[in-house]
Amino acid sequence: MEAENMVHSDSMSPASPSESVRSSSGGELKTSLTEGSARRSQQTLTIRLGLPEPVKVIVMEDRDAILPCSLGSGENIESRLFDWRKDYQKDGSKNVFMYDGKKQDLLRQSEQFRGRVSHFPDELKNGNASIKITETKLADGGNYTCIFPHLQPERKFNIELVVGAAPKPYVTIIKSDHGVLLQCEVLGVSPKPQLQWQDSDGNLVPAKDPQEEKRGGGYDIILQAAVTKTDTYRCVVTQKEIHHQTQAEIYVPPIDIMVNGGDFSRPTPQLGVKVCVGSVQRGGGRFGCWS
38 and 133 together in one domain: yes
Is residue 181 domain-resident?
yes
Q: In terms of Cα–Cα distance, which of 290, 288, 262, 291 is closest to 277? A: 288
pLDDT band at 74 (very low <50, low <70, confident <90, very high): confident
Whether residue 2 is predicted with pLDDT greater than 60 in this model: the reply is no
pLDDT over threshold 50, residue 291? no
CA dihedral 146, 151, 155, 161 (to 10 degrees): -10
What pLDDT is recorded for position 6? Answer: 58
Confidence of residue 271 (pLDDT cuts 50, 70, 90): very low
Q: Average the pLDDT over each of 11-20, 56-65, 231-240, 270-279 and give the range with the smallest value.
A: 11-20
- pLDDT for res 260: 62
Same domain for 204 and 79: no
Region 166-183 average pLDDT? 88
Residue 17 has pLDDT above 90, yes or no: no
pLDDT at 284 over 50: no
What is the span of the domain harbouring residue 116?
6-164
Residues 116, 236, single domain; the answer is no
CA distances, 181 to each of 29, 61, 98, 204, 279 (Å): 53, 32, 54, 15, 28
pLDDT the model gives residue 37: 34
67, pLDDT greater than 70: yes
Assigned domain for 138 exists: yes
Same domain, 157 and 244: no
Give the domain-ending residue among 164, 196, 218: 164
Domain-embedded: residue 1: no
Q: Which residues are paired to 215 by β-bridges?
A: 218
pTM metric for this prediction: 0.68
The reply to whether 225 and 272 lie within a common domain is yes
Q: What is the pLDDT of residue 145?
A: 95
Same domain assignment for residues 130 and 175: no
Percentage of the residues of the chain whose pLDDT score is greater than 70: 67
46 and 142 together in one domain = yes
Round the average pLDDT of the chain to a whole number and report it. Answer: 77
109/143 same-domain check: yes
Same domain, 238 and 210: yes
Please check whether residue 280 lies inside any domain of the structure. Answer: yes
Residues 212, 274, single domain; the answer is: yes
Same-domain check for residues 229 and 137: no
Out of 164, 194, 219, a domain closes at 164
CA distance 203 to 273: 19
Same-domain pairing of 179 and 145: no
CB 190 within 8 A of CB 138: yes
Query: How many domains does the chain fold into?
Result: 2
Give the DSSP per-residue string, 59-71: EETTSBEEEP-B-
How far, in Å, CA of 9 to CA of 188, rounded? 21
Query: Among the three residues 134, 164, 194, which one is the final residue of a domain in this structure?
Result: 164
Q: Assign residue 183 a region: left if phi > 0, alpha if psi is -120 to 50, beta otherwise?
A: beta
Residues 159, 146: contact at Cβ < 8 Å? yes
CATH number at residue 120: 2.60.40.10
